[in-house]
Structure 1
Amino acid sequence: MLIQKSGHIIVNNSTNIYEEGSIFIYWEGFIYGFNQQSGKKTIREFFKNLQIHGFCSAISKLHGSFVLVLANEEKQEILVASDASGQMPIYKNQDMISSSLIELTERTDLNKEDLSLDKAVEFVLTGFQFGPKVLFDAIEQIPPSKIVSVKKRNFFLINRDKEDDPFLRTVKHDSISEYLNQWEILANAIRKEKVSIDLTGGTDSRILVAILNHLGCSFETAISGQPTHPDVIISSEIAKHLNSHEHFTSIHKVDEDTLISDLYEIAKNSKGINDFVGMHRLFQLHKERAKRGISLALGGGAGELYKDAKQWRCALLSCNSKNRLVDKLVNTGFVGWGMGSQTPDQLFQTEIREKSANYKKDTKKFLKDIFPEYHKCDVFRLADEIFYKYIIAAPRGFSPLMFPHYSPLLDAAFVHYGINLPKHLRFGHQFYREIIAVLDTKQEIASLPTTRLGMTLLPKRIIPEVLTSVFLNLQKRKTTISLNDPNLYSLLRKRLKRSNILKELVGIGLLNPKIAIDNIPNKNLGRLVSLWLFLRILDKRKN
């Protein structure tokens, strides 16, 4: 999708269009609301609501992972919005708006000489781009809290309703039954979709399948990994207790001869810059899903907002100090998500090595600047807000070009429940335990171990299981098995030694020319190759 200041709209999917009178509506991704089926039935109700209450109110009632465009010929105005959580991002430059960073970069006529080395360093360190700035200074990501108005050859940013921000909603102590009612809206929306759910050995995806199974939804479950990985083993056991749902296990396998071409295909199926090497496993899974005719994938992303995840453990250890909380979140690498506790400064050329060395310090300052209420809120709530509005808000994923991928637990309508839970329901996964006790009366799913050091979701086991989890964490008895093909990075290194890929990254002023391929950590190597692929695709399209 591309929108020019002149009002010209270029769409990618002509089936996702609704027109009535002077109104033109286009959407990308998965969209639902008004207790209707997803897609056009939802959009028809959206149109009716629009006529009565206006755009800002109507858009607040939509959920999913989407970008929506409304053109009003009578008012000579175009309005553009993403879902309230920003699961599908929107980008803009001075003249255009797009849902694709790659497409907008190409249209802006940018190339590797225009690369922001600050953001390139961030990507190599973390695998993501955080905040509004992206790889090129001429482009920025529009915050999901804003609606774009295109009028009189100008762009204007409009604030969404406050109720769209789960942290600004009126606090309610909602019961589990009310929480499940929100899931029923989703269940009704996906009745006609062919759904595949990411099922791991963790707690978040288990809650997802337990709820939708209880609500009578039709879906398959799937996982990609290695046969001996706990996620693969446990997910197969969970699937046995679901009602007539097929379970698919994709064993991740890398072919040296096709690895680089696979990475090109992953990049082309992405709308932005991602760790394409790290995504190879999920790419293989999504291709298999596409062959089965899947129209929607659901995942358990953002489950951290419903339990005592790392941001809450950092808050617990911060002694109610906001400054100490930010220090812990950044120093542990949690804010950077894919960043290690130590930055590999030696990867970079001398001129920009300081950017890597100062990344954590600069991130701490940035976080304090973007949260104006920084010193006025509870330390646990601040931890959640940093996670929701900064960490997991970083664009990720490539599946929208295959089929939409939606994380219900990240949707603002669900997040509202998680962040307003009493603290005791977050610790020890108590909220999840209470939900699953309602849904799984035989305790078949609850009794199975999770990948959180064997903890179950049985409601009466919370104290001994939390104590065991703490003890095992102290003993560092964690699995070192990877879901990826163990040969992924060794095969990548073999291919790189026969190519000029890293030399080209030296040429743009990023990579240290003296560093050997074998001395580059796997994660950073994958991101360097991903950055090269992103720039190469831009060059090929221009030529």
Structure 2
Amino acid sequence: MLITQEGITHYQKTEQMWEDGDYLISWRGFVFVLGIAAGMDSVMTFAEEVRASGLITAIKLLKGHFFMTVCDKQAGVFYSFIDNSGAFEAFHTDSAISTSFLALARYSGFGKERVSKEAIVEFINFGNIYDNRTLLDGICKIDSNEIIVFCSHKKSIVSKQLASIDTPCPDVDVMDFFRRFCQSIRHLKISADLTGGVDSRLVCVLLDHYGVPFEAAISGRAGIRDVDIPVEIARVLDHRLYVTEPCVERLEQMVPELFVWCDGMNDLFKHYRTLPHHQSRRDRGIELVISGIGGEFLKENMWVQDFPFYARKKANIRRFLRMRMLQIKCKSSYFAGEFRAINDTFENGVVDKLGRYRMDTNTKTYDSIYYHFRMKTVASTFIASTNHLFGCYSPFLEYDLVRCGFHLKRRVRFFNRYHRELITRLNPQVARIPTAEGGISASAETLEMLKDIGKYIRNRCRRVTKVVGRKLLSKTYLQESPEHPELFRKMRTLGVTEEAVERLKREGVLDPRLEVNDILDAHLGNIVTFAVFLGYLEGREAGDVRGEDRTENNQAVVTV
């Protein structure tokens, strides 16, 4: 979808529209009002609330992951916004809004002169651009608390007036939320992610408890716990499980499609496994994918670097950054000239940015950083890509549930206690099945929890060992991976990889002496993706990164 000061100019087939004499409402993604059928019925309910109470009040009714534009026909005003959890990606410039970063970049005619050196170093380190920024100065992501307004050919930004994350959310009950949510999705054909962890297990148990028909699905290598454990869970729940195994045979040929799929916003190779996985879901007629992303806000995973001191006043933001976000930093030897100097001070700059999320305790600070800075970026890139084919929703990322988790007592989130008690209450047999977290169960039964204590300690020690290994050896050890075992070896042999490295050497980004084999696995896809993006800015097809000749016209026809 592309919105300019003249109105909505392009639609995709995955976008929907409703209108009456007063309003035209267009949306992309999955949207619902609790207890009302998702999609058209919920949008009509929302429109009535706009009429009765105004837009800002009505927006708080909406749930899901979506982008929406409301045109007030009488006033000639367009209001555009994303969901309140910030889990959908949409972008804006001074004169246009789009659900596609790549389309908006091409529509705006922006070239590589708009890419800052700092953004390049950030992308190669993280594989993402944080803080509602993009690779291009002048294009920003729409924030979850913003409404972009076009009126009389002028743009303004107003606040949704959402409550802050630390404001108590007393009326939210997870069981009641899921009960009403399940009423909203009964008419859809659903596929639920199911891994070896506890978050997706809790989602599947809740869906099963409320009688929602669904299939379960997982992408990964057979023989690892994250695939074998879901087989047992699906058997006990009596839901069919589909497993998509990763393949790297056509990796080079997939690059153009992967680049468009990720919208140039993160490492394109991270999607080589999920793209065919979602395509197989589409072929089975799936309309909505439900995942457990966001379940972290109901447990202690974000705090383990401070274990067991979960009530400290002072947060160690640098340690949090190194353990949870920047686990393997780029070597300065990758870079040339000024880029090397920027990389040397990069970590300090990120720590300074994260300082604005400080709260009165360490664990609240980590929650705030993880939600506002990390999850809104990392989760949204994967959710937005999935929406190319069908709706995608992570209930635990819903802003009300995030705030609910934020205010849980520390002891309730410790040792997966919240997940344990809810799963055990609903399905004790599923709760006893081991997880991929060191083989501990998801059970709240006393005997099971006693057996899990030793496994929990071993799992925490294993995590510390992995962190030390990443810091000393710049590689992750002691971890089963769902990826194809030949993935990174294959990536290093691709023509697009060699061309990307040579392209960035010519651009003065990478050191002329750098070889492909000098680049760590964690950064290889980031480098390739950025080089592909530079080629795209020059009007080339996705996957062409050579850049010897600049195309004269960046104002290519917008296709969104």
TM-score by length of 1: 0.91
Provide the rounded CA distance (Å) in 2 between the counterparts of 1:327 and 1:519. 26
Provide the rounded CA distance (Å) in 1 between the counterparts of 2:8 and 2:243. 44
Superposition deviation, residue 65 in structure 1: 0.7
Q: 1:260 to 1:52 in 2, by over 3 A?
A: same
Superposition deviation, residue 142 in structure 1: 2.2
SS in 1 for 2:536: helix
Cross-structure match for 2:333? 346
Cross-structure match for 1:327? 318
Cross-structure match for 1:251? 245
Cross-structure match for 2:366? 383
Provide the rounded CA distance (Å) in 2 between the counterparts of 1:75 and 1:463. 64
List aligned pairs for 1:420-435, cutoff 5 A: 420-435=407-422
Q: 1:353 to 1:147 in 2, by over 3 A?
A: same
Residues 297 and 405 of structure 1 are in contact (CA less than 8 Å); yes or no, is this contact kept in structure 2? yes
Residues 89 and 144 of structure 1 are in contact (CA less than 8 Å); yes or no, is this contact kept in structure 2? no
* Counterpart residue type for residue 384 of structure 1: D
Superposition deviation, residue 522 in structure 1: 1.2
Provide the rounded CA distance (Å) in 1 between the counterparts of 2:157 and 2:409. 35
Provide the rounded CA distance (Å) in 2 between the counterparts of 1:520 and 1:507. 17
For residues 239-284 of structure 1, the C-alpha deviation after alignment (integer angstroms, 9 at most, x for no partner) is 11113x21011111110xx212212112222334121112211112
Provide the rounded CA distance (Å) in 1 between the counterparts of 2:14 and 2:454. 55
List aligned pairs for 1:492-511, cutoff 5 A: 492-496=491-495, 499-511=498-510
Superposition deviation, residue 34 in structure 1: 4.3
1:223 has 2:218 as partner: yes
Superposition deviation, residue 69 in structure 1: 0.3
SS in 1 for 2:460: helix
Residues 29 and 67 of structure 2 are in contact (CA less than 8 Å); yes or no, is this contact kept in structure 1? yes
Counterpart pick for 1:301 among 293, 312, 327: 293
1:448 has 2:433 as partner: yes
For structure 1, the 5+ residue unaligned runs are: none
Superposition deviation, residue 331 in structure 1: 3.0
Cross-structure match for 1:172? 170
SS in 2 for 1:120: helix
SS in 2 for 1:535: helix
Provide the rounded CA distance (Å) in 1 between the counterparts of 2:272 and 2:394. 20
Residues 33 and 61 of structure 2 are in contact (CA less than 8 Å); yes or no, is this contact kept in structure 1? yes
1:184 has 2:147 as partner: no
Provide the rounded CA distance (Å) in 2 between the counterparts of 1:497 and 1:84. 38
Superposition deviation, residue 468 in structure 1: 3.0
For residues 380-435 of structure 1, the C-alpha deviation after alignment (integer angstroms, 9 at most, x for no partner) is 22211111111111141221112222111111132122112121110011111110
Provide the rounded CA distance (Å) in 1 between the counterparts of 2:14 and 2:516. 45
* Counterpart residue type for residue 228 of structure 2: I
Cross-structure match for 1:202? 197
Superposition deviation, residue 149 in structure 1: 1.4
For residues 70-120 of structure 1, the C-alpha deviation after alignment (integer angstroms, 9 at most, x for no partner) is 001211211111001111122111211112111111111122343222112
List aligned pairs for 1:70-109, cutoff 5 A: 70-109=70-109
Residues 67 and 83 of structure 2 are in contact (CA less than 8 Å); yes or no, is this contact kept in structure 1? yes
Cross-structure match for 2:546? none
Residues 101 and 264 of structure 2 are in contact (CA less than 8 Å); yes or no, is this contact kept in structure 1? yes
Cross-structure match for 1:482? 481
Aligned length: 524
* Counterpart residue type for residue 339 of structure 2: I
SS in 2 for 1:432: helix
1:519 has 2:504 as partner: no
Superposition deviation, residue 467 in structure 1: 4.3
Cross-structure match for 2:279? 287
Superposition deviation, residue 131 in structure 1: 0.2
Q: 1:83 to 1:171 in 2, by over 3 A?
A: closer
Provide the rounded CA distance (Å) in 1 between the counterparts of 2:287 and 2:264. 21
* Counterpart residue type for residue 204 of structure 1: D
Superposition deviation, residue 9 in structure 1: 4.1
For residues 149-175 of structure 1, the C-alpha deviation after alignment (integer angstroms, 9 at most, x for no partner) is 111222211111334x4433x34386x
Provide the rounded CA distance (Å) in 1 between the counterparts of 2:254 and 2:514. 26
* Counterpart residue type for residue 172 of structure 1: P
Provide the rounded CA distance (Å) in 1 between the counterparts of 2:254 and 2:276. 9
SS in 1 for 2:381: coil
Superposition deviation, residue 325 in structure 1: 2.4
Cross-structure match for 1:151? 151
For residues 311-363 of structure 1, the C-alpha deviation after alignment (integer angstroms, 9 at most, x for no partner) is 354375587243x421221232x1x3xx3244322222132112222121101
Counterpart pick for 1:368 among 351, 355, 363: 355
Residues 49 and 58 of structure 1 are in contact (CA less than 8 Å); yes or no, is this contact kept in structure 2? yes
Provide the rounded CA distance (Å) in 2 between the counterparts of 1:328 and 1:103. 37
Cross-structure match for 2:425? 438
Residues 314 and 328 of structure 1 are in contact (CA less than 8 Å); yes or no, is this contact kept in structure 2? no
* Counterpart residue type for residue 120 of structure 1: I
1:529 has 2:516 as partner: no
Superposition deviation, residue 499 in structure 1: 4.8
For residues 33-69 of structure 1, the C-alpha deviation after alignment (integer angstroms, 9 at most, x for no partner) is 1411111011111111111111111111111110010
For residues 459-507 of structure 1, the C-alpha deviation after alignment (integer angstroms, 9 at most, x for no partner) is 1233552443223432549743321111111112112388522211222
Q: 1:116 to 1:89 in 2, by over 3 A?
A: same
Cross-structure match for 2:253? 261
Q: 1:8 to 1:433 in 2, by over 3 A?
A: closer
Q: 1:315 to 1:65 in 2, by over 3 A?
A: farther
Q: Alignment identity in percent?
A: 24
Cross-structure match for 1:235? 230
Superposition deviation, residue 365 in structure 1: 0.7
Provide the rounded CA distance (Å) in 1 between the counterparts of 2:497 and 2:437. 41
Provide the rounded CA distance (Å) in 2 between the counterparts of 1:18 and 1:173. 31
Q: 1:352 to 1:319 in 2, by over 3 A?
A: farther
TM-score by length of 2: 0.89
Residues 254 and 485 of structure 1 are in contact (CA less than 8 Å); yes or no, is this contact kept in structure 2? yes
Counterpart pick for 2:209 among 194, 209, 214: 214
* Counterpart residue type for residue 132 of structure 2: P
Deviates more, 1:412-421 or 1:212-221: 412-421
